[in-house]
Amino acid sequence: MPAMDIGGDFYNLIKIDNDCAGVLIGDVSGHGISAALLTAMFNSMVVNHAKTYLSPDLLLYQINSEYCKVFENSRNIMYASAFYAVIDTAKRKIYYSNAGGALPLLVRYSTDEVIELDAFGMPIGMDEAPIYEYKSVPYSSGDVLFLHTDGLSDTFYKDKPEEFTARINEILLSARGFPPAEIAEAMLAEFYNLDPSPSEKYMLDDVSLIVCGL
């Protein structure tokens, strides 16, 4: 849901092979046409390299390198946050790395847990040789992976991160057995139920989210 007619969020689901799928979500600094053009570039880079760089940390490093080369002589560099994960359905594991993005959540309904998938990494474009932490986590059938950009919290909870975390966990845990589309609708109804005027849109941020039923 872009704040303006076009936005600076990007996301993708990429089939790597019969067992693995890549999940991407991110946010380019700024709004409007320039940000939207960069989202298209990021998506293209990830699609082109997802089957070559199977490890999420290596993929983000490659994307960062190409991005820095494009803007090496530019005075106005726009940065991007991004989270990328590979879901391996054969091993039932999620492999992931983060470039400064909002932390995704793994919901384990068997134990009523909501786990933050934290991993360290600088936003893309801020460092020519960044280190992207690489982690993995197991999952079970029936779990849910929830990803979002920071615009989801900015609307009502920008200065209240603890309240946002508590409310989002409450919604996810109460959604046991819900299809992914209904979980997404519940999130938007709670955090983005707005009909802003054109002038108010400039005060908002883009919002994107992905719900993966595992």
Establish if 1 belongs to a structural domain: no
pLDDT for res 6: 61
User: Whole-model pTM?
Assistant: 0.89
Q: What is the pLDDT of residues 144-169, one digit of tens each?
A: 999 999 878 766 667 788 888 999 99
| CATH number of the domain bearing residue 15 | 3.60.40.10
Q: Can you point out the beta strands (E) in 142-196?
A: 144-148
Angstrom CA distances, 103 to 26, 119, 139, 194, stand at 11, 8, 17, 24
pLDDT for res 195: 58
Rg (CA), the chain: 17
List, for the chain, all residue ranges whose pLDDT scores fall below the cut of 70.
1-7, 30-32, 154-157, 193-205
Number of domains in the chain: 1
Establish if 178 belongs to a structural domain: yes
